[in-house]
C-alpha cells in the first residue's frame, strides 16, 4: 500500500498536464466559492462537458480539485461583508464579520484560509486512515442515528444563545424548524404550506434564507449608520503582520483544529448530513469547549477556525462513501459521482482491490489542491481586505445586487427574490432587537434531515429505535449537552446579575 501511495503522489506532481489542470481547477473553484449562490454543484455540472473525453485520472482530479477548493474561498464574502456563500459558510459569518468590523479582516482571513487548507488536508488523511476499516464504520449509521445526530446539532442552539438570550435563541431555532417543513413531504409526497406555489415544493431555498438573515440586514444597518464596514481607519487596519497573526492562530489552536477536522471528516462520511451540519456542529463544539464562550458572536477567532476546518475536512470524508459504496456523502458529491461515472469510474469494492492507485491519486489531489488554494489566497488577501475600508454608501448597492443575483442563480427562480425581501425584513428585525440569528439557520438546515430520518426510523423499527445501542449513546449526549448548556448559561446570568448588584451598591 505504501508503494501505491507514494507512486500516486509522484505520478500526480510529475505530470505537467495534470498539474496544469489542477491550477485551472483551483482558479475556477476559488472563483465559484467566493460567489454567493453558485455553489460547488453548479460548477461541477458546468464543467462536465469540458472533461468529457478526458482520461479518467485527469478528469477526476480536475473535478475533485475544483469541488474541494470551493469551500476554501467561500468564507471571504462571509468575513468581508457578512454574506455567506451558502449554508456551509453561514457559521463563519458569526465571528468573521465582527472581526472585519473591528478592522481585523486580514487576521480573520489569514486564520480562515489556513484553517480551510489544514482541514482539507486532515480530511484527506482521515480518509486514507479509514480505508482499511471502511464498511463497519459506514454500516453503523442508520436513519435512527441520522435523526439523533441532527437533534444533537439542533441542541447546540442552547450554546449559541448565552445568558438571557437562551429563550430567544430557542424561539428563533424553532422558527427555522417550522420553515424546514415547507415543501413536499419526503415520505408521502404531499405539498405542505406551499399551496400552488411550485417554487416552494422543494422547500425554502437555503441560500436565499441565509443571505436574507445575515447579508441584507447587515447591509441595511451599514447604510443607515454610514461609514465603512471597518470601525478603524485604513492605516491602522490591514497589515501583513496582522495577516501572519491570523495564520499563526491555527497552530495556536491546534487541538481545536484537529478535533473539528476529525469531526468534519466523520460527518462527511455519513451520507446525507452534508457540510452545513459539519460547520454548525463544530462551531457549537467550539463554543461549548471554550473557557470564554461569551466572546463568540463578537469576534472570537475560534469561531472562524472551527467551522472552516470542518467544512473543508468533510470533503475528504464524503469522498469515502462516494467511491467505495456509490453512496454520495453530500449533494455536491452526488453531482461529482455522476461525473465520475461519465469518466468511467465504477464505485464499489473494486476501488479497493483493483483501482487503489486512483483512490490515492484523488487523496493526494485533495492535499495538493488545498495547498495551492491556500498559497494563492494568502497572496491576494492584501487587496481583498481593503474593501472593508471602502465607504458603505459606495459598497452597499453593489453588494445588494450581488446578493440578489446569488439568490436567483442558486435555483433560477425569480420568486426567491420575493422570499429574500420578506426574510430580510425579519432578519433586520432580529438584528435591531438583538435576537440571535444563527439558531434560525441551524433549524432550517437540520430540520428537514431530522424529519426524513425520523420517518424512516419509525418505519423500520417503530419507537424501539430509541433503544438501539448507538441511539442510547447519542440520546445521552443530547441530554447531557442541553443540561450543561442551561447550567452554564444560567450560572453566567446569575453571576452577571450579582456583579451588577455589587456595582450598584
- Conformational region of residue 55, where left means phi above 0, alpha means psi within -120 to 50, and beta covers everything else: beta
In angstroms, the CA 129 to CA 296 distance is 33
Greater confidence, 268 or 36?
268
Percent of the chain scoring above 70 in pLDDT: 74
Return the closest-CA partner of residue 71 out of 45, 57, 90, 58: 90
Whether the CB-CB separation of 396 and 89 falls below 8 Å is answered with no
Q: Which residues are bridge partners to 192 per DSSP? A: 183
pLDDT confidence bin for 241, thresholds 50/70/90 = confident
Query: Could you report the per-residue pLDDT of 147-163, keeping only the tens digit for each?
Result: 887 777 777 666 666 55
Chain length of the chain: 505
**Residue 385, pLDDT score:** 58
Cell 451599514, located at residue:
222
Cβ partners under 8 Å of residue 39, min gap 6: 32, 70, 85, 86, 207, 332, 410
Query: Could you report the per-residue pLDDT of 83-104, keeping only the tens digit for each?
Result: 665 556 777 888 888 888 887 8
Query: Could you report the per-residue pLDDT of 289-317, keeping only the tens digit for each?
Result: 888 887 888 888 998 898 888 888 887 77
pLDDT confidence bin for 61, thresholds 50/70/90 = confident
Q: What's the DSSP call for residue 184?
A: E
And the C-alpha cell for 389? 475600508
Cα 96–chain centre separation: 14
Cell 482521515, located at residue:
126
In angstroms, the CA 263 to CA 473 distance is 16
Cell 467550539, located at residue:
286
**Residue 255, pLDDT score:** 92
Whether the per-residue pLDDT at 165 is higher than 70: the answer is no
Whether the CB-CB separation of 72 and 117 falls below 8 Å is answered with yes
The CA-to-CA distance between both ends of the chain, in Å, stands at 71
And the C-alpha cell for 96? 468573521
Cell 492562530, located at residue:
249
pLDDT confidence bin for 47, thresholds 50/70/90 = confident
Query: Could you report the per-residue pLDDT of 116-147, keeping only the tens digit for each?
Result: 888 888 888 887 787 766 656 555 667 887 78
And the C-alpha cell for 370? 488545498
DSSP secondary structure string for all residues of 13-67: HT-HHHHHHHHHHHHHHHHHHTSTTTHHHHHHHHHHHHHTTS-HHHHHHHHHHHH
In angstroms, the CA 22 to CA 408 distance is 29
Q: Whole-model pTM?
A: 0.66
Choose the weakest-confidence range: 165-174, 343-352, 421-430.
343-352
**Residue 86, pLDDT score:** 59
Greater confidence, 314 or 40?
314
And the C-alpha cell for 465? 429505535
**Residue 360, pLDDT score:** 82
Cβ partners under 8 Å of residue 295, min gap 6: none
Cell 481607519, located at residue:
233
Q: Which three-class secondary structure state does DSSP give residue 391?
A: strand
Q: What average pLDDT does this structure show over 408-424?
A: 80
Q: What average pLDDT does this structure show over 40-66?
A: 76
In angstroms, the CA 322 to CA 341 distance is 11
Average pLDDT, the chain: 76
And the C-alpha cell for 25? 481547477
Whether the CB-CB separation of 216 and 424 falls below 8 Å is answered with yes
Alpha-carbon torsion angle 221, 227, 231, 233, nearest 10: 160
**CA-CA distances (angstroms) from residue 332 to 79, 244, 327, 329?**
23, 32, 12, 8
CA-based torsion, 25, 29, 30, 35: positive or negative = positive
**Residue 217, pLDDT score:** 82
Amino acid at each position: 500500500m505504501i508503494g501505491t501511495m507514494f507512486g500516486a503522489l509522484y505520478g500526480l506532481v510529475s505530470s505537467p498536464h495534470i498539474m496544469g489542470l489542477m491550477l485551472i481547477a483551483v482558479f475556477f473553484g476559488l472563483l465559484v466559492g467566493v460567489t454567493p449562490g453558485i455553489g460547488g454543484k453548479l460548477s461541477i455540472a458546468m464543467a462536465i462537458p469540458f472533461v468529457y473525453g478526458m482520461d479518467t485520472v485527469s478528469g477526476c482530479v480536475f473535478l475533485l480539485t475544483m469541488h474541494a477548493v470551493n469551500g476554501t474561498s467561500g468564507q471571504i464574502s462571509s468575513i468581508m461583508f457578512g454574506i455567506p456563500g451558502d449554508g456551509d459558510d453561514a457559521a463563519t459569518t458569526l465571528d468573521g464579520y465582527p472581526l472585519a468590523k473591528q478592522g481585523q479582516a486580514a487576521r480573520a482571513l489569514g486564520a480562515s484560509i489556513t484553517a480551510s487548507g489544514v482541514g482539507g488536508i486532515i480530511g484527506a488523511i482521515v480518509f486514507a486512515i479509514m480505508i482499511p476499516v471502511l464498511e463497519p464504520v459506514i454500516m453503523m449509521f442508520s436513519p435512527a442515528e441520522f435523526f439523533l445526530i441532527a437533534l444533537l446539532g439542533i441542541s447546540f442552539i442552547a450554546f449559541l444563545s448565552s445568558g438571557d438570550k437562551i429563550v430567544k435563541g430557542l424561539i428563533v431555532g424553532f422558527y427555522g424548524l417550522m420553515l424546514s417543513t415547507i415543501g413536499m413531504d419526503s415520505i408521502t409526497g404531499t405539498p405542505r404550506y406551499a399551496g400552488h406555489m411550485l417554487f416552494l415544493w422543494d422547500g425554502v431555498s437555503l441560500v436565499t434564507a441565509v443571505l436574507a438573515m445575515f447579508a441584507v440586514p447587515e447591509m441595511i444597518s451599514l447604510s443607515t449608520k454610514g461609514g465603512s464596514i471597518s470601525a478603524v481607519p485604513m492605516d491602522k487596519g490591514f497589515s501583513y503582520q496582522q495577516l501572519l497573526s491570523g495564520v499563526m492562530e491555527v497552530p495556536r489552536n491546534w487541538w481545536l483544529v484537529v478535533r473539528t477536522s476529525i469531526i468534519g471528516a466523520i460527518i462527511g462520511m455519513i451520507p446525507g448530513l452534508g457540510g452545513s451540519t459539519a460547520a454548525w456542529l463544530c462551531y457549537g463544539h467550539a463554543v461549548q469547549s471554550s473557557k470564554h464562550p461569551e466572546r463568540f458572536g463578537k469576534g472570537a477567532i475560534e469561531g472562524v477556525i472551527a467551522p472552516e476546518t470542518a467544512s473543508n475536512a468533510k470533503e475528504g470524508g464524503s469522498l469515502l462513501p462516494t467511491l467505495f459504496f456509490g453512496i454520495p456523502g453530500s449533494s455536491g458529491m452526488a453531482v461529482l459521482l455522476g461525473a465520475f461515472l461519465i469518466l468511467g469510474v465504477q464505485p464499489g469494492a473494486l476501488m479497493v482491490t483493483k483501482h487503489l492507485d486512483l483512490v490515492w491519486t484523488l487523496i493526494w489531489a485533495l492535499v495538493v489542491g488545498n495547498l495551492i488554494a491556500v498559497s494563492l489566497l494568502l497572496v491576494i488577501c492584501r487587496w481583498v481586505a481593503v474593501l472593508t475600508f471602502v465607504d458603505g454608501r459606495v459598497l452597499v448597492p453593489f453588494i445588494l445586487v450581488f446578493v440578489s443575483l446569488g439568490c436567483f442563480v442558486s435555483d433560477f427562480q425569480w420568486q426567491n427574490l420575493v422570499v429574500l425581501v420578506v426574510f430580510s425584513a425579519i432578519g433586520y428585525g432580529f438584528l435591531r432587537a438583538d435576537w440571535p440569528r444563527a439558531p434560525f439557520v441551524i433549524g432550517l438546515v437540520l430540520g428537514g434531515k431530522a424529519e426524513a430520518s425520523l420517518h424512516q426510523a419509525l418505519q423500520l423499527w417503530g419507537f424501539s429505535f430509541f433503544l438501539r445501542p448507538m441511539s442510547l449513546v447519542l440520546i445521552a449526549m443530547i441530554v447531557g449537552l442541553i443540561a450543561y448548556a442551561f447550567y452554564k448559561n444560567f450560572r453566567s446570568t446569575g453571576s452577571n446579575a450579582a456583579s451588577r448588584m455589587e456595582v450598584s451598591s
